[in-house]
Amino acid sequence: MTPSSTRRVGFVGLGAMGTPMSQRLLAAGFEVVGFDLSDAARAQFADAGGQAVDSATRAVNAVDVVILMLPDSNVVEAVVRDPAFLESLQTSTVVIDMSSSEPLRTRELAAYLGAHGVRMIDAPVSGGVVGAQKGRLTVMVGGEPDDVAAVKDVLDVFGRVVGVGPVGSGHAIKALNNLLSATHLLATCEAMLAGQQFGLDPEVMLSVFNSSSGRSGSTETKLPNFVLPGTFNSGFGLRLMLKDMKIAVQLADQGGAPCDLGKEAVALWSQAAEELDARADHTEIARWLKIVEANGAP
């Protein structure tokens, strides 16, 4: 889709997701000004036709829309609460936090920006690096309908846009989605190992699960694409997944909803995060399980 008039987007965070997402905006005809702490990420962005700058403040200067695609709420707040960030914004700019952040902190941040006349929405995504490359993400948008409408042309570039409620709602639903995703990935890996030990063929197991009630995004996508081939290269870090799981469990606790299974999943993923490399892909939870089994630990 081509923007009706050329719109300038300031993009902060050109990592595994931000790189393909910013490239899709460029391909759709938007002017994109980008910043990342990483020199390599900025160089890759410039090679793709983006205008790379050397600070977040410069990236958001005189743009229509700001997109943040950063690791977590701590980083998002460090960027947005820098007084120079606010000074660089036009009051007409809409700030979109597309990172997977903490919903209550997002509400507070939106209120802070709102007090200075700047609108903010949250629009985290699901679909991974491949979904980002192909424009097939699910975009979960929280915010005032008028603010969402003002940036719909930008969000449409990324995939299916779903309005989910007021600001912070996108971040809540995203965390809950990833708690589900992580829990069934670990459960699937456990089932696969038990089956292998019994002598079942992994490909046959997956084929049966995928036409039966045990199927999920783990059996349909993650096991066949990243685990069984041993590539473990989905592009989504294990520590980022664990961050999202903790957000979801905290959300349950705050509302008084039971979350015993979720807490157990967090405990197991936390153990994996301690034992695996800091940069481990989240699909390496399968490798971790095998290591634990080989050592005879729990």
Chain positions contacting ligand NAD, by CB under 6 A? 12-18, 35-38, 41, 56, 69-72, 75, 78-79, 99-100, 125-126, 128-129, 235-236, 240
In this chain, which residue has its C-beta nearest to ligand NAD? Answer: 15
Minimal CA–CA distance to 32: which of 138, 140, 157? 157
Q: How far is the CB of 137 from ligand NAD (least distance, A)?
A: 8
Contact status, residue 33 vs residue 10, Cβ threshold 8 Å: yes
With respect to ligand NAD, which residue has the nearer C-beta, 188 or 205? 188
Quote the CA–CA distance of 107 and 44 in Å, as a whole number: 33
Question: Is 174 one of the catalytic residues?
Answer: yes
Minimal CA–CA distance to 177: which of 118, 119, 218? 218
Phi-psi region of 220 (alpha: psi -120 to 50; beta: other; left: phi over 0): alpha
With respect to ligand NAD, which residue has the nearer C-beta, 14 or 110? 14
Residue 279, both tokens: 């940069």
With respect to ligand NAD, which residue has the nearer C-beta, 105 or 205? 105
Residue 76, both tokens: 């998002």
Q: How far is the CB of 122 from ligand NAD (least distance, A)?
A: 11
With respect to ligand NAD, which residue has the nearer C-beta, 16 or 205? 16
Q: b or e along 96-125 (b: 16 or more beta carbons within 10 Å of the residue's beta carbon)? A: bbbbbbbbbbbbebbeebeeeebbbbbbbb
Q: Which amino acid is at 200?
A: L
Q: How far is the CB of 87 from ligand NAD (least distance, A)?
A: 17
**How far, rounded to the nearest angstrom, does the alpha carbon of residue 247 sit from its chain's CA centroid?**
13
Contact status, residue 248 vs residue 178, Cβ threshold 8 Å: yes
Of residues 134, 152, 174, 263, which has the active-site annotation? 174
Q: How far is the CB of 101 from ligand NAD (least distance, A)?
A: 7
Contact status, residue 53 vs residue 35, Cβ threshold 8 Å: yes
Q: How far is the CB of 234 from ligand NAD (least distance, A)?
A: 6
With respect to ligand NAD, which residue has the nearer C-beta, 63 or 69? 69
Q: Percentage helix, strand, coil, to 5, in the chain?
A: 55, 15, 30
Catalytic annotation, residues: 174
